[in-house]
Amino acid sequence: MLWSSLVSDNINETACTTTPECGSVVSLRKNFFDRIVINLFSFVCFFCAVALTLIICVATFFRYILEGNLYGYEEWVKILAFWLYFMGAAVGAYNRTHIRADLVNAYLKDGKFKDFMKFLRDLITFSVAGLFAWYGYIFFMFGFMGPLGTGIAIPMTSVWRIPMWIGYLSVFLGLMFMVYYFGRDFVFSARALFRRKKR
């Protein structure tokens, strides 16, 4: 089953061993799909961070040293920033490193109520991410098909004429993979909540 291969251990969340109730536990990045996706997204983040740094340094050099203007560099900065932010968000969802105000682990004792609160947290996170992913799809299709949905009059940047859907695609992809990895966490917390105790 696909979901069982995506469930990974999280020492801070739930101690889980290989039992019939818990299923097989795989460590991070042993899954071939995850290894490919996360390495690709990490490379994209690295490339975008380096490119953004170089573009801003060159623009600063042109403006303050040469007293000129690097015309239209903002368009590249926006697109690269979109890719950096949303690929980084997908990697953060995979690694479970998104910032959250989670008092459940700190103040609740282990037991069914704590498992239920984790389940509820992961359900809300998964649902909200799914809603945003749907809006991300609509956003991308607007840029890809144009305002009339015919592929005519596709929105483009004003200077370099870069199609806007290139930036919108990062939003949709990042949100889709966030849903995917939040779904993994939701299944993991559901298993922890509904598993049977040994007699």
Write the secondary structure of the chain as one string of H (helix), E (strand) and C (coil): CHHHHHCECECCCECCCCECCCECCECCCCCHHHHHHHHHHHHHHHHHHHHHHHHHHHHHHHHHHCCCCCCCHHHHHHHHHHHHHHHHHHHHHHHCCCCCCCCHHHHCCCCHHHHHHHHHHHHHHHHHHHHHHHHHHHHHHHHHHCCCCCCCCCCECCCCCCECHHHHHHHHHHHHHHHHHHHHHHHHHHHHHHCCCCC
Q: How high is the pLDDT of residue 187?
A: 95
Model confidence at 94, pLDDT cuts 50, 70, 90, reads very high
Residue 105 pLDDT exceeds 90: no
| pLDDT, mean over the chain | 84
What does the pLDDT look like over 23-82, one tens digit per residue? 333 445 568 999 999 999 999 999 999 999 999 999 999 999 998 888 889 999 999 999
CA angle 150, 154, 160 (to 5 degrees): 160
Distance CA 107, CA 170 (A): 37
Token readout for 162 is 């870069």
For 71, 72, 168, the CA distances from 159, given in Å and listed in that order, are: 8, 6, 18
94 neighbors 180 (Cβ within 8 angstroms): no
Q: How high is the pLDDT of residue 8?
A: 42
Model confidence at 147, pLDDT cuts 50, 70, 90, reads confident
Q: What is the mean pLDDT of residues 166-185?
A: 96
Burial of 192 (0-12, 13-18, 19+ CB in 10 A): buried
- φ, ψ for residue 26 (rounded to 5)? -115, 145
Q: Which residue has the tokens 């966030």?
A: 178
Q: 23 has which bridge partners?
A: 19
Q: How high is the pLDDT of residue 53?
A: 97
pTM metric for this prediction: 0.79
Distance CA 39, CA 29 (A): 9
